[in-house]
Amino acid sequence: SFTPISPRVLLVQLKESPIDINIIQVYAPTTDRSDEEVQEFYNSIELVLKKLKKDELNIVMGDYNAKLGEGRTSELVGPFGLGERNTRGDDLETFAMTNNLVVTNTWFKQPPRKLYTWKSPLDRPGRIVRNQIDYILVNKRFRNSCTTVKTYPGADINSDHVPLMGAFKIKMKRTNLKRKQRYDLRRLKDPNIKQEVKLELNRKININTEQNCNNPDIEKEMDELRKHVLEVKEKHLKPDKTKRKSWMTNEILDLMEERRIHKGRVNEYKRIQSQIRTKIREAKESELKEKCQEIEFYQDRYDSFNVHKNVREVTGKYKKSNCGKLIDEGGNLMIGTEERKNTWKKYVEKLFQDERSEKTPNRDGIQGDDILEEEVQVAIKQIKHGKAAGLDEVEAEFLKLLDEINIKWLTQRFNKIYSTGNIPSNWLKSEFITLPKKPSAKQCGDYRTISLMSHLLKVFLKIIHRRIYKLCEEQIAPNQFGFVNAVG
């Protein structure tokens, strides 16, 4: 799990066996900040450490903006530091001693070029300005698990800091975590890919329909539909994992690899770097043009929500929130997964508590007209693109690709559900996701709870809603035309 504690501290928890690993990443205030701010920084780390188990591997690492200097001063700070100590170095050692943490950097003898973690912009040949201000701290119990710590000054990164790497040797069992596969539905904008997906999806559904035409099982058929959609996505819509940015191209990636090879040749490196910058600028301009065309498309459809959303993305004023901090009603910080689940469970149960009687009205003898294919087509057309799927993982984009034969098949299944009242189990389950109402969201009430339902269920409910709405319109008196759609 990932938990942002403050702008300077975050917690990453890794589920391992036989012990879990907790990594606290920190960024300390610089030397020009007040002592009170530094103390507040260390207090926030201690608050997290108190929540963690002492028999787990706890690593506190990052930029402490402190110099411990050369020479051993305690059993937690070793002799192999760099340079001279400053006041913030004393604060760091006090923090380490208070929480029984070993500063691993200082216990491994390395040449000076493997010790410094920061290089000043003023650093140049003949005037070396380098310091050791990044550290990896680990709870004393696991000090012998750390086999080495050193820096990699030759890394190809655009930063004044140098990568600091620590090697830990712990006997752990391999855990197979199931990660949800993500697919790039934007590829359906390509007419060729869209046509391939449409043909293959309809072919698979047709074959399955012919095999079960004599005794259709709704539950089984809905599962088969889900299976066919997943197979099509796996084959045609897998994302390119090497492209971290949406504007990234294969040409830019190739140039980056070429730049890495010529790292030791200054002139060639600069020439390739210039090419990369040019290609990146062109790729960004191309993506910006596509975004503007998308905004015009939504504007023509009077879709103000997506217009403003895309405008914020283009102007850089839109940022997806990634809040993970959660406190309960008593103000206690929830860190563990089970703690967080129980907190959300109590909140949701209280939020949706229904005190009405469980008695259901008598519906004997009540039967509506059969659902028509035209109703299904209209309902599918009304569903917007880009909406998250439910637990069945069937997006609206795939329902819009169904041909007339499979629309007829889907209509028949809707009619069976409508007449019997037996709803597929996947339709009755939904997944709650939480969206923060504000950047500083901490309590459950600071989040919106959004339920992700099956799109097949949404189509079914749209048909029923349309019928109910039509009946309501017929019952409205002429002098209440203000409540009727497209009237008045």
Q: What confidence tens digit (pLDDT) does each residue in 273-330 have?
A: 999 999 999 988 988 888 888 889 888 888 888 888 888 877 766 555 555 678 888 7
Tens digits of residue pLDDT in 447-476: 888 888 999 999 999 999 999 888 887 777
Burial class of residue 154, CB neighbours in 10 A (0-12, 13-18, 19+): exposed
pLDDT band (50, 70, 90) for residue 422: confident
Q: Is the pLDDT of residue 362 over 70?
A: no
Confidence label for 40 from pLDDT (cuts 50, 70 and 90): very high
Single pTM value for the model = 0.58
List the single range of 65-79, 397-411, 472-486 with lowest mean pLDDT.
Answer: 472-486
Per-residue model confidence (pLDDT) at position 228: 92
Q: Facing residues of 26 across strands? A: 9, 62
If you average pLDDT over every residue of the chain, what do you get? Answer: 85
Quick check: 58 pLDDT over 90? yes
Contact 120, 67 (CB under 8 A): no
pLDDT value for 177 = 57
State yes or no: pLDDT of 241 exceeds 70: no
pLDDT number for residue 374: 94
pLDDT at 324: 64
Q: Look at 363 and 397; give whichever has higher pLDDT.
A: 397
Which CATH homologous superfamily contains domain 2-168? Endonuclease/exonuclease/phosphatase (3.60.10.10)
pLDDT at site 88: 93
CB atoms within 10 A of CB 314: 15
Number of H helices, E strands in the chain: 12, 12
pLDDT of res. 154: 76
Closest CA to 295 of 279, 313, 281: 313
| Model confidence at 114: pLDDT above 70 | yes
Q: What is the pLDDT, as a whole number, of residue 340?
A: 84
In angstroms, what is the C-alpha Rg of the chain?
Answer: 30
Separation between Cα atoms, residue 436 and residue 444, nearest integer Å: 9
Mean pLDDT of 213-227: 81
**Shortest CA distance to 65 belongs to which of 109, 6, 118?**
118
Please give the average per-residue pLDDT across 195-212, as a whole number: 84
Which residues, other chains included, contact 448 with Cβ-Cβ below 8 Å and sequence gap of 6+? 434, 435, 436, 437
Q: 3-state DSSP call for residue 366?
A: coil
Determine the average pLDDT of the residues in 184-213: 84
The whole-angstrom separation of Cα 204 and Cα 201 is 5
User: How far apart (Å, rounded) are the C-alpha atoms in residues 204 and 438?
Assistant: 45
Edge-to-edge strands of the sheet including 134-139? 2-6, 9-14, 21-27, 57-63, 134-139, 101-103
Residue 488 has pLDDT above 60, yes or no: no
Centre a 10 Å sphere on the Cβ of residue 449 and count the other Cβ atoms it contains: 14
Percent of the chain with pLDDT over 90: 32
Instruction: Return all residues near 475 (Cβ < 8 A) that are at least 6 apart.
Output: none
Mean pLDDT lowest for which of 25-34, 170-179, 396-405? 170-179
Mean pLDDT on 68-95: 91
Mean pLDDT in residue range 368-392: 89
pLDDT of res. 456: 93
Contacting residues for 228 by C-beta, under 8 A, at least 6 apart? 201, 204, 205, 208
Q: What is the pLDDT of residue 8?
A: 93
Structure tokens, 94 = 């006090």
Is the pLDDT at 427 greater than 80, yes or no?
A: yes
d(CA 129, CA 231) in angstroms, rounded, equals 57
Give one DSSP letter per residue of 190-251, joined into a string: SHHHHHHHHHHHHHHHHHHHHHTSSS--HHHHHHHHHHHHHHHHHHH----TT--STT--HH
The pLDDT of residue 408 is 92
CA distances from 373 to 256, 457, 470 (A): 53, 16, 18
Element spanning 437, H or E: none
Assign 236 a pLDDT band (cuts: 50, 70, 90).
confident
Q: What is the pLDDT of residue 425?
A: 87
Neighbours of 157 (CB within 10 A): 9
Do the beta carbons of residue 146 and residue 104 sit within 8 Å?
Answer: yes
- Measured distance CA(336)–CA(327) in Å, rounded: 11
Task: List residues bridging with 450 in a β-sheet.
Answer: 433
pLDDT at 211 over 80: no
Indicate the pLDDT class of residue 63, thresholds 50, 70 and 90.
very high
For 316-402, where are the alpha helices, taking DSSP H only?
337-351, 373-382, 396-399
Tell me the pLDDT tens digit for each residue of 321-355. Answer: 555 678 888 777 787 778 888 888 888 888 888 77
The reported pLDDT for the residue numbered 155 is 77
